[in-house]
Chain A
């Protein structure tokens, strides 16, 4: 288990010593109990740093902003950014490294292990505690959490309130880090793709109906895209608002911007949007499930990404975010790749 004091100390060491320019971590929210992302610029601020099972955000997201800021600066501060990462998040760092989006020197990784459990699922917590006011949730050494409510502390079996993705996680400890807190924790879930089974057992028609219903809800707020650490393109095929135009973009090219998808959130356009996103995340999604958490319309986006993860594993034995030296899934061709699906 990670001792919060150790984490604070490590963070202070690098911030005080000037090894990093700032640290991206978590702090308590103004209201409620779910931790929120925080940027620590001064060592003394670090007293507010927290690490508990409510630190659901994948902070790697903020490395995109950091990169873009730096690109805009004449003489950018070249020191790395400190970042607190969980196991899943660390694989996101690896994907960004693999894609040359960031360099290893750009980040100082404070790795934290989730131990025997993982992150809580807010919806499950709310359901479990039906209206009780929660102030704090903590990790335990065993497979449970301690939840503090106005009525006192209770021990809750992790299985009752933690996120589905965490039950299927095999990397509870960061796979890349500069310091690792909480030790190496290996988990071997019985069925890493178990949550897909019910969906997979449905007929094609049932699946269609299911997604038809789900995607009709989509309001195309792009929260899923905005929160995804992998969606870092300047220009996205699905929305015509953000076409990147530069002073030297030729008129011809400006005129030739393609509207592959209409802006309006109709069901058919939504399908295209979500299919494109899913395909673009194949071999890149690390299952942090932030998209699903961010979706205001309760669309089970994780299904799509998890299914592609499963297919990549099954067909190409590809694991996302472990090896930064190999080509990315969509850019690797091997002699032994299956081709029986080509007809």
Chain B
């Protein structure tokens, strides 16, 4: 076999590398290394002239393989592989030796830095010697998207993707889309009616020919990989045919079962057969089988008797819908931290202590009180109203460590709305500090204070308890240095925002990672805010962190743009550096199957088989296999062995 001819290119990276690494010395040392026929240094290898030098050197010296000693392969591996390809060589004959991040940047001493750079480069020369020629694996793209969660974020993402001409499956776990936004009364900072601005989008979703809406449904299983996912979606039975239901409301009049209304957050009740709210999409009644005795029609079945169009079908069964999609957008939103966690505020047991969303329903013209602000215990108008911010937020010891970000704004809105309803009432707001960054936000808060006479008290509330028909609030005003006691009629807690219920389960299904607070993790906090670490999966809205509507919408459109980026391709390319099984050594023990985080391995005829498209080349299997029967192409144990030898000076 003809001896392979290797070229080595050392980058100065300005002074980033050359400052602590004697690049000339490295080039000189490498020129003497076995197999190296060309070795040079240059100030910026990644610059256009730098890349041209590589192409020319390959041609002039008939190089087979190339090592570029520079920054992390994360940054310029593809730059240099493309350069090598330009010189008509296989791109995978180019390897990066990183002499910056863990070399020049960490060694203050030129001698040590140079010595290490030489060793690192030599190890990579040894590696590249045994690199196979590989071609990227190409796979077709299923040009459809799955959007999980039908709040404003999911709705926006679905519409954007659908409007670009790609099909969308929108899955929502509750009976209607709309999310939390549909429960809000008016929205800061402009006080436009939440339902009025959201319902047109909901209708657009329901009418859009490219959107397939699956409500009352949950994603149960997702397999596959970017461009080619398969999802199993469980469609729970609603027992009502939406096409036949005329929304006549006859059924609720006869239904004997009353349970708390989820939409009204327990402020009122609903029947077992119900419509979540009048503008629900899909526009249909549904039957909640947990409360209904009618599933044994002998027991009840009154609704079916009065339903003229015969829309009610007690025999409906759960259904599994299977969909093939190319990308996934997760927009599962948030839930409020439960009041029952807050001992100091009465564990949610005091009737006139409510959370912010319940207060939204109180203010809402379509709410249980038709927009009249009255308190739950005796339906009287509260004259003294206390708002407590940061309830459960910013409390790393006991509750959530983070700031829920939007509560300052909505509390201000609540106080303002209260004053608009109850002119002679007094509103107090306990706060730690006011965070009102955002267009028009600071002015909004100022209006609440100045125009509406809301009393802002800087300090914490130590205790809230029932005292006769009042709710006693004990707190401190840290600015005045005074203890404060208020006999409130109603207390509203700005509860922390938590990842929505079921987030953990969904994360497992999707194999997406969560951050320390349980929200979905973005791939990079600055540069990849809508991407997840799993290729082809994107995050939108409050599922990623507490957000208000404008931010949620912006992120949803960002996620949609990224999704469309994939859907608009015919084929995707996948790294060929994947695991390979030595079938003679494999005993079919399944250990690699168990450890592969990408489900890329299965046992076929007693021997491991790698699905090359699923494999991310992480090497976990290779590290696990006791028999060394599986290894990753171009990172084989032999290559590692040779690299260790080289670094030891052998």
Minimum CB–CB distance from A312 to chain B (whole Å) comes to: 15
Minimum CB–CB distance from A165 to chain B (whole Å) comes to: 23
Q: B606: nearest residue on chain A (CB-CB)?
A: A100
**A327, B584: Cα distance in complex, Å:** 23
Given contacts A256-B130, A332-B594, contact A234 B584 (CB under 8 A): yes
A235: B residues at CB distance < 8 A: 585, 627-628
B358: A residues at CB distance < 8 A: none
Minimum CB–CB distance from A251 to chain B (whole Å) comes to: 9
Asked whether B321 is an interface residue with its Cβ less than 8 Å from the other chain, the reply is: no
Partner of A328 from B587, B589, B627, B641 at Cβ < 8 Å: B589
Asked whether A232 is an interface residue with its Cβ less than 8 Å from the other chain, the reply is: yes
B589: A residues at CB distance < 8 A: 99-101, 328
Q: Are A244 and B584 in contact (CB under 8 A)?
A: yes
Asked whether A260 is an interface residue with its Cβ less than 8 Å from the other chain, the reply is: yes
Asked whether B636 is an interface residue with its Cβ less than 8 Å from the other chain, the reply is: yes
Question: Among residues 575 to 595 in chain B, which have CB atoms less than 8 Å away from a CB atom of chain A?
Answer: 582, 584-585, 587-592, 594-595
A332: B residues at CB distance < 8 A: 594
Question: Among residues 121 to 173 in chain A, which have CB atoms less than 8 Å away from a CB atom of chain B?
Answer: none
Given contacts A100-B603, A256-B130, A256-B636, contact A234 B585 (CB under 8 A): yes
A341: B residues at CB distance < 8 A: none
Partner of B591 from A234, A249, A253, A327 at Cβ < 8 Å: A327
**A333, B591: Cα distance in complex, Å:** 11
**A100, B589: Cα distance in complex, Å:** 5
Minimum CB–CB distance from B125 to chain A (whole Å) comes to: 17
Interface residues on A, range: 20 to 34
Given contacts A256-B638, A258-B638, A258-B641, contact A330 B588 (CB under 8 A): no
Asked whether B626 is an interface residue with its Cβ less than 8 Å from the other chain, the reply is: yes
Asked whether A280 is an interface residue with its Cβ less than 8 Å from the other chain, the reply is: yes
Q: Are B641 and A233 in contact (CB under 8 A)?
A: no
**A257, B584: Cα distance in complex, Å:** 14
A101: B residues at CB distance < 8 A: 587, 589
Binary interface encoding of chain A residues 310-341 relative to chain B, with 1 for a CB under 8 A from any of its CBs, else 0:
00000000000000000110111100000000
Minimum CB–CB distance from B589 to chain A (whole Å) comes to: 4
Binary interface encoding of chain A residues 260-295 relative to chain B, with 1 for a CB under 8 A from any of its CBs, else 0:
100000000000000000001000000000000000
Asked whether B602 is an interface residue with its Cβ less than 8 Å from the other chain, the reply is: no
Asked whether A299 is an interface residue with its Cβ less than 8 Å from the other chain, the reply is: no
**A246, B636: Cα distance in complex, Å:** 19
Minimum CB–CB distance from B493 to chain A (whole Å) comes to: 31
Asked whether A38 is an interface residue with its Cβ less than 8 Å from the other chain, the reply is: no
Minimum CB–CB distance from B113 to chain A (whole Å) comes to: 25
Asked whether A237 is an interface residue with its Cβ less than 8 Å from the other chain, the reply is: yes
**A256, B628: Cα distance in complex, Å:** 13
Partner of B626 from A233, A246, A256 at Cβ < 8 Å: A233
Asked whether B346 is an interface residue with its Cβ less than 8 Å from the other chain, the reply is: no
Q: A258: nearest residue on chain B (CB-CB)?
A: B641
Q: Are B641 and A260 in contact (CB under 8 A)?
A: yes
A253: B residues at CB distance < 8 A: 582
Total inter-chain residue pairs, C-beta < 8 Å = 56
**A99, B636: Cα distance in complex, Å:** 24
B592: A residues at CB distance < 8 A: 331
Given contacts A256-B130, A256-B638, contact A331 B624 (CB under 8 A): yes
Question: Among residues 229 to 244 in chain A, which have CB atoms less than 8 Å away from a CB atom of chain B?
Answer: 232-235, 237, 244
B641: A residues at CB distance < 8 A: 258, 260
**A244, B637: Cα distance in complex, Å:** 16
A234: B residues at CB distance < 8 A: 584-585, 627
**A260, B591: Cα distance in complex, Å:** 23
Minimum CB–CB distance from A244 to chain B (whole Å) comes to: 6
**A328, B593: Cα distance in complex, Å:** 11
Given contacts A256-B636, A258-B637, A260-B641, contact A100 B587 (CB under 8 A): yes
B636: A residues at CB distance < 8 A: 256
Minimum CB–CB distance from B616 to chain A (whole Å) comes to: 16
Given contacts A237-B628, A260-B641, contact A327 B594 (CB under 8 A): yes
Minimum CB–CB distance from A128 to chain B (whole Å) comes to: 40
**A327, B641: Cα distance in complex, Å:** 29
Minimum CB–CB distance from A236 to chain B (whole Å) comes to: 9
Q: Are B585 and A328 in contact (CB under 8 A)?
A: no
A99: B residues at CB distance < 8 A: 587, 589-591
Minimum CB–CB distance from B461 to chain A (whole Å) comes to: 36
B590: A residues at CB distance < 8 A: 99-100, 327, 331
B582: A residues at CB distance < 8 A: 253
Q: Are B637 and A232 in contact (CB under 8 A)?
A: no
Given contacts A232-B587, A260-B641, contact A328 B594 (CB under 8 A): yes
Given contacts A235-B628, A260-B641, contact A249 B584 (CB under 8 A): yes
Minimum CB–CB distance from A316 to chain B (whole Å) comes to: 14
Binary interface encoding of chain B residues 591-632 relative to chain A, with 1 for a CB under 8 A from any of its CBs, else 0:
110110000000100100000000000000000101110000
**A240, B588: Cα distance in complex, Å:** 23
Q: B591: nearest residue on chain A (CB-CB)?
A: A331
Q: B590: nearest residue on chain A (CB-CB)?
A: A100
Minimum CB–CB distance from B587 to chain A (whole Å) comes to: 6
Q: B628: nearest residue on chain A (CB-CB)?
A: A237
**A258, B582: Cα distance in complex, Å:** 15
**A114, B588: Cα distance in complex, Å:** 33
A100: B residues at CB distance < 8 A: 587-590, 603, 606
Question: Among residues 211 to 245 in chain A, which have CB atoms less than 8 Å away from a CB atom of chain B?
Answer: 232-235, 237, 244
Question: Among residues 555 to 589 in chain B, which have CB atoms less than 8 Å away from a CB atom of chain A?
Answer: 582, 584-585, 587-589
Minimum CB–CB distance from A133 to chain B (whole Å) comes to: 44
**A273, B237: Cα distance in complex, Å:** 61
B606: A residues at CB distance < 8 A: 100
Question: Among residues 48 to 69 in chain B, which have CB atoms less than 8 Å away from a CB atom of chain A?
Answer: none
Partner of A330 from B130, B591, B603, B638 at Cβ < 8 Å: B591
**A82, B628: Cα distance in complex, Å:** 32
**A280, B591: Cα distance in complex, Å:** 13
A328: B residues at CB distance < 8 A: 589, 591, 594
Minimum CB–CB distance from A92 to chain B (whole Å) comes to: 15
**A332, B130: Cα distance in complex, Å:** 32
A331: B residues at CB distance < 8 A: 590-592, 594-595, 624
B626: A residues at CB distance < 8 A: 233, 280, 330
Q: A276: nearest residue on chain B (CB-CB)?
A: B626
**A150, B563: Cα distance in complex, Å:** 87
Given contacts A327-B594, A328-B589, contact A233 B627 (CB under 8 A): yes
**A280, B585: Cα distance in complex, Å:** 16
**A256, B127: Cα distance in complex, Å:** 12
**A48, B170: Cα distance in complex, Å:** 73
**A154, B534: Cα distance in complex, Å:** 71
Q: Give the 9 A-B CB pairs with smallest separation, nearest first.
A: A331-B591, A327-B594, A256-B638, A331-B594, A99-B589, A258-B641, A233-B627, A331-B595, A100-B588
Known pairs A235-B628, A258-B638; list 18 more (Cβ under 8 Å): A99-B587, A99-B590, A100-B589, A101-B587, A232-B587, A233-B585, A233-B627, A234-B627, A235-B627, A237-B628, A244-B584, A256-B636, A280-B626, A327-B590, A327-B591, A331-B591, A331-B594, A332-B594
25 contacts between A and B (CB under 8 A): A99-B591, A100-B603, A232-B587, A233-B587, A235-B627, A235-B628, A237-B628, A246-B584, A249-B584, A253-B582, A256-B130, A257-B638, A258-B637, A260-B641, A327-B591, A327-B595, A328-B589, A328-B591, A328-B594, A330-B591, A330-B624, A331-B592, A331-B594, A331-B595, A332-B594
